[in-house]
Amino acid sequence: MGNRVLPSAAVRLTHLRDSTSAMGDAPTLRRCLAEDGYLLLRGVHERDQVAAARRMLLGHLDRAGRIDRQRPLDQGWALPGAKPDEQTITRSPEFRAVVDGRIMDFFTFLLGRPARTFDFKWLRVVGPGGFTGAHVDAVYMGRGTAEVFTAWTPFGDLGYDQGPLAIIPGSHHLPSFAPIRSTYGQMDVDRDRIEGWFSTDPLELVERFGATWATTEFAMGDVLIFGMQTMHMSLTNNSGRFRLTADCRYQAADLPIDARWIGERPPGHQVSPAPQKSMAQARAEWGI
């Protein structure tokens, strides 16, 4: 996981709580989200639509020479090469049918008022050896309301070996994470010109901040929803296949929104060419 092999996975890595049985009960869903900082919900998206988007994605990768055709195309065995054209993919009707589809109605139900989504969509094509470091999303998209939610969607059934996402349950309110929330959690990567990942070492968060990580295997249609101060990272993709996922943002339509991610051509991050401050330097200054 990240840059570490966990010595005793049973102790430090547990299963995400499944809230699917509360799907029709908005107050219970809100309570779970407030307690855990996330919701694991099975079968939110229509599986056929996710499968169609997966075929479209694999088609792009195949045409770019990124798929090993000695094996079945639908398994997505990876070859090295250039990144796919993410903008074309995330604007395609197949992709939008999933991330702008039933999930919008779900957020309107969850929030109890009309929801809207950021126009920018984040596509992750994670090859063998790839992973995402530990971070909170507020540092990337915190200029509107704090009540933004990420919906993380796998485009394919996803085993542990393909590097699914992991969460630290309660990290948005646990007292042991208060020093992180009051320093790192207040950053804006563009304004503060700082790296976004807090750490690449999951054990450091266990040993220094009392974290337990939680993850699961995913099936097409499942979604993992979490808030802006929930610490998360991914397991490492230890398979030879691509891990294809998207993470998209949703919030109440009447609340302020982060303008970097809105519009026909969202401006996005404005830091260039490199962050001024490393996370190591910032953490030394914060004393954490």
- Minimum distance between the CB of residue 137 and ligand AKG, rounded to whole angstroms? 5
Q: Is 132 in the site for ligand AKG (CB under 6 A)?
A: yes
Residue closest to 51 by CA, chosen among 70, 86, 76: 76
In terms of CB distance, is 67 or 141 closer to ligand AKG?
141
Judged by CB, which is closer to ligand AKG: 12, or 121? 121
Q: State in angstroms the smallest separation of the CB of 107 from ligand AKG.
A: 15
State yes or no: cis peptide before 273, omega within 30 of 0. yes
Q: Distance (Å, rounded) from C-alpha 183 to C-alpha 282? A: 9
Residue with smaller CB distance to ligand AKG, 66 or 124: 124
Total of chain residues touching ligand AKG, rule CB under 6 A: 11
How far apart are CB 70 and ligand AKG at their closest, in Å?
Answer: 27
**Among residues 175 and 213, whose Cβ is nearest to ligand AKG?**
213
- Footprint of ligand AKG on 228-257 (CB under 6 A): 232, 234, 245, 247
Strand order in the sheet with 213-215: 13-15, 213-215, 165-167, 232-234
Q: Which of 137, 195, 222, 258 binds ligand AKG (CB under 6 A)?
A: 137
Residues in Cβ contact with 83 at an 8 Å cutoff, skipping those fewer than 6 apart:
125
What track of x and - describes contact with ligand AKG for positions 182 through 221 (by CB under 6 A)? Answer: ----------------------------------------
Residue whose CB is nearest to ligand AKG in the complex, by number: 247
Minimum gap (Å) between residue 152 Cβ and ligand AKG: 5
Residue 134 CB, nearest approach to ligand AKG (Å): 9
- 100-108, 124-132, 209-217, 276-284 -> range binding ligand AKG (CB under 6 A): 124-132
Q: Count CB atoms within 10 A of the CB of residue 179.
A: 15
Q: What SS3 state is found at 209?
A: helix
As measured in angstroms, the least distance from the Cβ of 118 to ligand AKG is 12
- Rounded least distance, CB 135 to ligand AKG, Å: 6
Give me the least distance between CB of 153 and ligand AKG, in Å please: 9
Q: Under rule CB under 6 A, which residues in 143-182 are in contact with ligand AKG? A: 150, 152, 165
Q: Do strands 213-215 and 243-252 pair parallel, antiparallel, or not at all (unpaired)?
A: unpaired
Q: Indicate the angle between helix axes 26-36 and 102-111, nearest 10 degrees.
A: 80
Give the C-alpha separation, 167 to 177, whole Å.
Answer: 13
For residue 197, which of 206, 187, 210, 212 has the smallest C-alpha distance? 187
Considering Cα of 78, then 82, then 83, then 84, what sign does the dihedral take?
A: negative
**Closer to ligand AKG at the Cβ: 229 or 245?**
245
Vertex 139: Cα angle to 137 and 141 (nearest 5): 65
d(CA 198, CA 37): 18
The CA-atom distances, in angstroms, between 141 and each of 112, 148, 151, 185, 272 are: 22, 9, 14, 11, 17
- What 3-state DSSP class applies to 242? coil
The residues of the shown chain that bind ligand AKG, judged by CB under 6 A, are 124, 126, 132, 137, 150, 152, 165, 232, 234, 245, 247
